[in-house]
């Protein structure tokens, strides 16, 4: 499609979106009509028609010279990467799952192994067109509607929906050379991670990508990626081999190579390690599991069936065990408190492995709804499983929230949250959010952030 045709298609999509917004009665809830989601918290059921986003799913244009792309808000990263890689370009941060949308990663939070040098996805946004709660289409940037631009990240659609985003891109090479470093001590791993963040390299060579996996207190890994144009054999983890299992080795360093495409999506095939819950890592089952269904979006559908029919809890009850509490979270911990959190978690929460992803904000002005310290290193710790139900609903999640707050950390709001209103306001923008909400959604057509993230009306 030519750029002019893409612009016309996008303009028509915007008109359909606006028409669908105007058609929703003033007292009805407003929501997006979308086939996929990467949210794990409960959502209110609604019979109201959703906003028509059918024309807002494409890459509008790629400017190779300026290293930018104009992208519709509902475009998935899978489609965005497919459009930019032929130019030798990539978004600065590509979240791990293919069906995450660019708009979702900006209004929520995304992260990946480039975040130690490129920050979070919303920091690469140059400008964005936002349909606000008042029904207006507003262009926000660092120069105009700055209050909305700064408060949009972590607002989860409660201030409006991004219609178009212009984002920065960076040059990438065709391959990624990997080094998996094994550690027997979490303190040694975090110290090595800290040095790589500060220097941008390891053992005299630059590092382009950095994340890690904790299997236990005495088995953990850092995964270092370096872009390269040198051709050669590459591994394939979209078939029978499983990426996270390839990381493990007895000692020292293990080398590997992937195409840049397969590196960016290395976690999607098995949804990190969560595909094991469905038997997809059993070699006898995997051999017959269709390749097109080895992807995060299909596993998410299976999770949806489980939630709808309480399959897991029924199985637990049949074996005389208590129901399960879902513990699906990503948290950010200051790097100097990371070992303390990991030690506590491994002693108190029976979940493994854990994903580690360091980050440092690029923009010194910061983002009020997720106020990490600019210029300071944090470690995202991801854990996605379930534990036996405790004495009260959300018992384990609440313990984690309390520990994270005690360590001056934050947690993402894509999953279950149990904060009091006062705690929530202290952590997620408080008065700043209320002021921006009143400005751009004066009639409260969209849910309040606390109502959406915690109360789950």
Domain CATH code at residue 141: 3.30.465.10
Residues 140 and 192 in one domain: no
Contact call for residues 210 and 193 (beta carbons, < 8 A) = yes
- Cβ neighbours of 289 (radius 10 Å): 17
Structural domain ending residue among the three candidates 245, 266, 287 = 266
Contact call for residues 69 and 59 (beta carbons, < 8 A) = yes
Residues 105 and 46 in one domain: yes
Domain annotation covers residue 443: no
Residues 164 and 187 in one domain: no
* pLDDT (mean) for 131-155: 96
Record the tokens describing residue 73, joined without a space.
């808000």
Peptide bond into 35 cis (omega under 30): no
**163 or 1, higher pLDDT:** 163
Contact call for residues 358 and 217 (beta carbons, < 8 A) = no
Length of the chain: 457
Residues 153 and 193 in one domain: no
Q: What does the pLDDT look like over 35-47, one tens digit per residue?
A: 555 454 455 555 5
Contact call for residues 66 and 49 (beta carbons, < 8 A) = no
pLDDT at 311 over 60: no
| Residues in a beta bridge with 130 | 138, 162
Domain annotation covers residue 346: no
Domain annotation covers residue 271: no
What whole-number distance in Å separates Cα of residue 114 and Cα of residue 91?
Answer: 10
User: Helix and strand tally (H, E) in the chain?
Assistant: 16, 18
Residues 140 and 190 in one domain: no
Domain annotation covers residue 330: no
Residues 8 and 42 in one domain: yes
Residues 163 and 180 in one domain: no
pLDDT at 77 over 80: yes
**48 or 279, higher pLDDT:** 279
pLDDT at 48 over 80: no
Position 36 scores a pLDDT of 54
Q: What does the pLDDT look like over 403-440, one tens digit per residue?
A: 999 999 999 999 899 999 999 999 999 999 999 999 99
Domain annotation covers residue 136: yes
Q: What letters, b where the CB count within 10 A reaches 16 and e where it falls short, cover 15-36? A: eebbebbeebeeeebbbbeeeb
Residues 56 and 145 in one domain: yes
* Chain position carrying tokens 């098995």: 270
* pLDDT category of residue 155 using cuts at 50, 70 and 90: very high
Record the tokens describing residue 234, joined without a space.
């590459």
- Cβ neighbours of 302 (radius 10 Å): 17
Position 41 scores a pLDDT of 47
Q: Output the CA–CA distances (angstroms, integers) from residue 382 to 168, 324, 330, 358, in the order listed.
A: 26, 19, 4, 11
CATH code (residue 246):
3.30.70
What whole-number distance in Å separates Cα of residue 394 and Cα of residue 275?
Answer: 24
* pLDDT category of residue 49 using cuts at 50, 70 and 90: low
Record the tokens describing residue 199, joined without a space.
């220097």
The mean of the pLDDT values for the chain is 92
Q: What does the pLDDT look like over 80-122, one tens digit per residue?
A: 999 999 999 999 999 999 999 999 999 998 999 999 999 999 9
Residues 80 and 168 in one domain: yes
The domain tally of the chain equals 2
Residues 94 and 166 in one domain: yes
* pLDDT (mean) for 55-77: 97
Q: What does the pLDDT look like over 118-133, one tens digit per residue?
A: 999 999 999 999 999 9
What whole-number distance in Å separates Cα of residue 386 and Cα of residue 389?
Answer: 9
Contact call for residues 434 and 153 (beta carbons, < 8 A) = no
Position 45 scores a pLDDT of 53
* pLDDT (mean) for 189-215: 97
3-state secondary structure of 131: strand
Position 305 scores a pLDDT of 66
CA angle (296, 299, 305) in 5-degree steps: 145
What whole-number distance in Å separates Cα of residue 38 and Cα of residue 267?
Answer: 14
Q: What does the pLDDT look like over 323-359, one tens digit per residue?
A: 889 999 999 999 999 999 999 999 999 999 999 999 9
Residues 159 and 190 in one domain: no
Domain annotation covers residue 113: yes
* pLDDT category of residue 211 using cuts at 50, 70 and 90: very high
Query: pLDDT > 90: what percent of the chain?
Result: 82
pLDDT at 72 over 70: yes
Residues 88 and 116 in one domain: yes
Contact call for residues 221 and 181 (beta carbons, < 8 A) = yes
Domain annotation covers residue 107: yes
Structural domain ending residue among the three candidates 157, 172, 187 = 172
Structural domain boundaries, residue 185: 175-266
What whole-number distance in Å separates Cα of residue 447 and Cα of residue 317?
Answer: 36
Structural domain ending residue among the three candidates 121, 147, 172 = 172
pLDDT at 60 over 80: yes
What whole-number distance in Å separates Cα of residue 362 and Cα of residue 193?
Answer: 18
Contact call for residues 54 and 16 (beta carbons, < 8 A) = yes
Q: What does the pLDDT look like over 443-452, one tens digit per residue?
A: 999 999 999 9
Domain annotation covers residue 131: yes
Q: What does the pLDDT look like over 17-33, one tens digit per residue?
A: 999 999 888 877 787 76
Burial class of residue 235 (count of CB atoms within 10 Å of its CB; 0-12, 13-18, 19+): middle
Contact call for residues 332 and 401 (beta carbons, < 8 A) = no
């Amino acid at each position: 499609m030519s750029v002019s045709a893409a612009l016309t298609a996008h303009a028509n999509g915007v008109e359909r979106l606006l028409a669908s917004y105007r058609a929703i009665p003033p007292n009805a809830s407003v929501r997006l009509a979308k086939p996929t989601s990467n949210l794990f918290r409960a959502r209110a059921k609604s019979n109201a028609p959703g906003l028509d986003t059918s024309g807002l799913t494409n890459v509008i244009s790629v400017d190779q010279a300026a290293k930018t792309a104009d992208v519709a808000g509902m475009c998935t990263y899978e489609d965005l990467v497919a459009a930019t890689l032929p130019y030798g370009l990539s978004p600065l941060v590509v979240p791990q799952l293919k069906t995450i949308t660019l708009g979702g990663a900006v209004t929520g939070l995304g992260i990946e192994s480039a975040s130690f040098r490129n920050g979070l996805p919303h920091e690469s946004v140059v400008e964005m067109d936002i349909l606000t709660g008042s029904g207006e289409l507003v262009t926000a940037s660092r120069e105009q509607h700055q209050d909305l631009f700064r408060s949009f990240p972590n607002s989860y659609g409660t201030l409006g929906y991004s219609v178009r985003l212009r984002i920065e891109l960076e040059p990438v090479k065709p391959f990624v050379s990997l080094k998996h470093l094994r550690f027997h001590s979490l303190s040694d791993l975090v110290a090595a991670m800290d040095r790589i963040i500060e220097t941008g390299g390891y053992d005299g060579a630059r590092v382009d990508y950095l994340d890690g996996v904790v299997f236990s207190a005495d088995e953990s890994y850092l995964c270092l990626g370096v872009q390269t144009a040198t051709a050669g054999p590459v591994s394939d983890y979209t078939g029978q081999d499983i990426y996270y299992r390839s990381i493990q080795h007895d000692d020292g360093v293990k080398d590997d190579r992937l195409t840049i495409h397969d590196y960016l999506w290395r976690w999607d095939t098995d949804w990190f390690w969560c595909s094991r819950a469905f038997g997809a890592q059993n070699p006898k089952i995997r051999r017959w599991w269709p390749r097109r269904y080895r992807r995060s979006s299909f596993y998410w559908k299976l999770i949806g069936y489980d939630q709808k029919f309480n399959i897991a809890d029924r199985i637990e009850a049949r074996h005389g065990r208590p129901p399960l509490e879902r513990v699906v979270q990503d948290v950010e911990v200051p790097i100097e408190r990371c070992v303390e959190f990991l030690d506590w978690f491994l002693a108190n929460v029976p979940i493994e492995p854990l994903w580690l992803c360091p980050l440092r904000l690029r923009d010194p002005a910061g983002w009020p709804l997720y106020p990490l310290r600019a210029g300071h290193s944090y470690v995202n710790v991801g854990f996605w499983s379930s534990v036996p139900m405790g004495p009260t609903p959300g018992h384990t999640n609440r313990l984690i929230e309390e520990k994270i707050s005690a360590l001056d950390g934050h947690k993402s709001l894509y999953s279950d949250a149990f904060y009091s209103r006062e705690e929530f306001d202290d952590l997620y923008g408080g008065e700043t959010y209320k002021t921006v909400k009143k400005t751009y959604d004066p009639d409260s057509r969209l849910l309040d952030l606390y109502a959406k993230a915690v109360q789950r009306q």
